[in-house]
Structure 1
Amino acid sequence: MKKIFCNLFGHHYSVSKKVTLHIKEYQCIHCGRQVTTDVSGNLSTLTPELQDINKTLENIFQKRHRAAATQQAA
Structure 2
Amino acid sequence: MKSLICSLVGHDFKVTKKVTNYVSEFQCLHCKKEMTTNVNGILIPLTSKQKEINEVLHYIHKKKKKKATLFSTNY
State the match for 2:71 in structure 1: 71
Instruction: Give the 3-state SS of the residue equivalent to 1:35 in structure 2.
Output: strand
Instruction: Give the 3-state SS of the residue equivalent to 1:22 in structure 2.
Output: coil
- TM normalised by structure 1 equals 0.97
User: Which segments of structure 1 move beyond 2 Å, counting only runs of 4 or more?
Assistant: none
Paired amino acid for 1:47 = T
How large is the RMSD of aligned CA atoms in angstroms? 0.6
Q: Distance in 2 between matches of 1:72 and 1:41?
A: 29
State the match for 1:21 in structure 2: 21
Q: Distance in 1 between matches of 2:31 and 2:39?
A: 25
State the match for 1:52 in structure 2: 52
Deviation at 1:22, TM superposition (A): 0.4
Equivalences, count: 74
**Between the two proteins, what is the percent identity of the paired residues?**
39
